Every structure is written in structure tokens, then in C-alpha cells.
């Protein structure tokens, strides 16, 4: 554990190194064991949690660290979900092919969108991403190849839920590890500067375009992988489910509740979100109203989210990307 004098009064403790790594390994090991022996309902809930967590972690990378607040991540979810369905039902390929094709198309889509979107900042960027996702939804609603609004089924779903569980866990862990490594690399150092002042960052040599592009593509890939895998588990996809804005609503909720701009925030946020949505599942009409109400309360009273507030109050940082002058 390192200590940092952050002002004349405060000292921040940073949890990291071996103890943290061991704690993470233990948590993942427990989750793996649950994958083998856990009861079906628990595993179903955890699969959803892993996939939402993966999407939230990369959305936080974009919005919390580079200021690109995308409201159109469902574009990637839908594209990947349809890739999964088309590959397995139209071409009768295995779901592995479906997953990888979805991820690859997600990456290409991110690269193409970057050319258009990176000319915009802030609100304009957010609206543009949303419009693009809506346009894709409209397109899929009328595209004969994907059966228009009638949707498609995913074929060849593994009979053993363990595989779905393990891959979902893998996607989640991979997203977290990737984002953590990115933030602790040279690139991450530049991102933190960019978040505070993009012009000043570029005048000390940070390549804004490249940094944004890497984050956007990483987010696109993991959102697509998680989305594709979600629809394998879900068995069928429609334009309104794949490209529905409830994806973005959920992801934004998770990141805000957990703590935007913190590594652990989206992880904690996804646990909270999935638990709440499971509890509220019995009250379908009320669930969104209650979730919205909770979000408003958190924004009003804990604007830094659960983790952000805890870190400030208790003066610690977890999974931090802080650099110290002494090694």
C-alpha cells in the first residue's frame, strides 16, 4: 500500500500490488467455482451481471476518462447480437464464429464511426452516437436479410449453461484487465491529463485523436463481445431489443451509481444494478421508475457515486492509476 500526500492535510492510501492481485484472483476463483456448482438461477443472474459489467467498464473508460459520453452503445450490442444470430441461423456456423464476427464488426464499426464522431465534443458527440444507433435500428427494422422487425433466432446454443457462464466471466475479466492495463500505460497517463484539459494535454504532446480512437475501439469491441454473448444466452433478437436504448440507460445507471472515472465504480455499480433489477423484476411497471428515482437520489447526494464517495470520504484509492515520484 502506498501513501500519497495529496495536500497539506490529507494523505491518500492506495491499495494495489500483491494484496489486491491476490484478492482479485480469489474473487475470480470463487466465481469460477460457482460456475460449476452454483444453482441455475444464481448463474443466470451472474451471467447478466458479467456482461453488463463488461459494457459498463468500457463505457466508463470512454466517458469517465476521455470525456466521450456515448449514448449509442446499443449500436454495438445490436450489431453483435445480429452477427451471432446470422452466423448461427443463416450460415449455421458455431456460436464461437458468431462471437468473433460480432467482435470484429464491432471494431470496424468503431473505426468507421470515429471518423465522423471525433469531430464533435460533449453534447454533440452524445447526440450523434444516439442518432446513429437509432438509424441502425430503423435500418434493421426494414432489412429483409435479417427478417425485418420479425427478428431472428440464435441457433446451436450450448446445452450446458456452464460454457455460457464461463465465457461471460472471461469477457468481463478481460474487459476489466484491459482497461486497467490501458489506464496504467503511457496512454492512460495521457488520458487522465486529457480529461482535465484536452488543449493543454495536446500542447504537452498527448495525441488526442489516437488516445480517443484506442478507447473508442476497445469499448466497441468489448460492448460487441458482451452483446453477442448476451443474445446467445437470450436465444432471439429483434431490432428493438438489440438496438434498444435500454442498454445505454442501464450502462449509464451502472457507471453513475458506482462512480464515474473510478476503476471499481462500474464493477460495484453492476452488482447493485443487477441486484435491484432482480428484486424489481416482480414489479415490471414500477421497476424503471424506481431505478430512475434511485439514480436521481445518487446524483443529488452522492455525485461521485458509491466508490467515488467512499474513496473521498475514507481517503483511499483502489485499482488506481496514480503515479508516484518514488517507485
Partner 1 sequence: MDTILTFKNVNAGYGRVRILNDLSFEVKKGEVYGVIGPNGCGKTTMFNALIGLIIPTHGEIIYDGKNVTKMKANDRCRLGIGRTYQVPRPFEGMSVFENCLVAAVHGAGHSEKEGRRVALEALKLTELYDKREVRAGELTLLDRKRLEIARALGTEPKLLLLDEVAAGLTEAEVKDVMKMVATLKDAGYSIIWIEHVIETMVKSTDTLMCMAQGSNLVVGEPLEVMNSKLVEEVYLGGVEDDE
Q: Which residues contribute to the site for partner 1 (CB under 8 A)? A: 4-8, 186, 189-190, 192-193, 195-197, 199-208, 322-325, 327
**Count of residues for the chain?**
327
From the number of C-beta atoms within 10 Å of its C-beta (0-12, 13-18, 19+), residue 25 rates as: exposed
**Helix pair 40-60, 17-37: axis angle to 10 deg:** 140
Nearer to partner 1, 4 or 163 (CB): 4
Residue 303 CB, shortest distance to partner 1, in Å, is 15
From the number of C-beta atoms within 10 Å of its C-beta (0-12, 13-18, 19+), residue 32 rates as: middle
Alpha-carbon distance of 6 to 106, in angstroms, equals 40
Nearer to partner 1, 26 or 322 (CB): 322
Nearer to partner 1, 184 or 245 (CB): 184
Nearer to partner 1, 5 or 144 (CB): 5
Residue 150 CB, shortest distance to partner 1, in Å, is 49
Q: Are 157 and 36 in contact (CB under 8 A)?
A: no
Q: Nearest Cα to 287, choosing from 275, 270, 304? A: 275
Residue 4 CB, shortest distance to partner 1, in Å, is 5
Nearer to partner 1, 80 or 317 (CB): 317
Long-range contacts of 28-32 (CB under 8 A, 24+ apart): 28/169, 28/173, 31/169, 32/166, 32/169
Alpha-carbon distance of 206 to 214, in angstroms, equals 13
Nearer to partner 1, 301 or 324 (CB): 324
Nearer to partner 1, 86 or 260 (CB): 260
Alpha-carbon distance of 209 to 224, in angstroms, equals 22
Kindly tell me the sign of the dihedral angle through the C-alpha atoms of 3, 11, 199, 204: negative
Q: Tell me 299's DSSP state.
A: H
Nearer to partner 1, 178 or 202 (CB): 202
Q: Nearest Cα to 101, choosing from 226, 214, 228? A: 228
Amino acid at each position: 500500500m502506498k501513501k500519497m500526500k495529496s495536500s497539506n492535510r490529507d494523505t491518500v492510501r492506495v491499495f494495489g500490488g500483491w494484496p489486491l492481485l491476490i484478492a482479485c484472483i480469489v474473487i475470480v476463483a470463487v466465481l469460477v467455482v460457482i460456475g460449476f456448482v452454483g444453482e441455475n438461477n444464481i448463474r443466470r443472474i451472474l451471467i447478466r451481471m458479467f456482461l453488463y459489467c463488461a459494457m459498463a467498464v468500457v463505457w466508463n473508460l470512454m466517458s469517465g476518462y476521455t470525456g466521450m459520453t456515448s449514448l449509442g452503445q446499443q449500436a454495438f450490442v445490436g450489431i453483435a447480437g445480429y452477427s451471432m444470430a446470422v452466423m448461427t441461423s443463416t450460415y449455421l456456423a458455431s456460436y464461437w464464429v458468431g462471437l468473433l464476427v460480432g467482435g470484429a464488426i464491432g471494431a470496424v464499426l468503431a473505426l468507421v464511426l470515429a471518423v465522423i464522431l471525433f469531430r464533435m465534443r460533449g453534447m454533440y458527440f452524445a447526440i450523434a452516437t444516439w442518432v446513429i444507433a437509432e438509424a441502425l435500428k430503423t435500418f434493421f427494422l426494414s432489412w429483409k436479410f435479417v427478417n425485418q422487425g420479425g427478428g431472428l433466432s440464435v441457433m446451436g446454443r450450448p446445452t450446458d449453461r456452464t460454457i455460457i457462464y464461463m465465457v461471460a466471466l472471461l469477457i468481463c475479466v478481460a474487459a476489466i484487465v484491459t482497461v486497467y492495463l490501458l489506464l496504467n500505460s503511457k496512454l492512460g497517463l495521457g488520458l487522465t491529463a486529457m480529461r482535465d484539459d484536452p488543449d493543454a494535454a495536446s500542447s504537452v504532446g498527448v495525441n488526442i485523436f489516437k488516445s480517443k480512437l484506442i478507447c473508442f475501439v476497445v469499448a466497441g469491441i468489448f460492448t460487441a463481445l458482451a452483446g453477442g454473448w448476451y443474445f446467445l444466452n437470450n436465444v432471439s433478437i429483434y431490432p428493438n431489443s438489440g438496438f434498444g436504448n435500454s442498454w445505454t440507460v442501464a450502462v449509464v445507471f451502472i457507471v453513475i451509481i458506482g462512480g464515474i472515472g473510478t476503476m471499481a465504480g462500474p464493477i460495484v455499480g453492476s452488482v447493485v444494478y443487477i441486484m435491484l433489477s432482480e428484486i424489481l423484476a416482480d414489479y415490471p411497471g414500477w421497476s424503471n421508475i424506481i431505478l430512475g428515482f434511485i439514480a436521481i437520489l445518487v446524483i443529488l447526494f452522492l455525485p461521485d457515486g458509491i466508490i467515488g464517495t467512499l474513496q473521498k470520504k475514507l481517503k483511499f484509492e483502489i485499482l488506481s492509476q496514480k503515479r508516484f515520484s518514488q517507485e
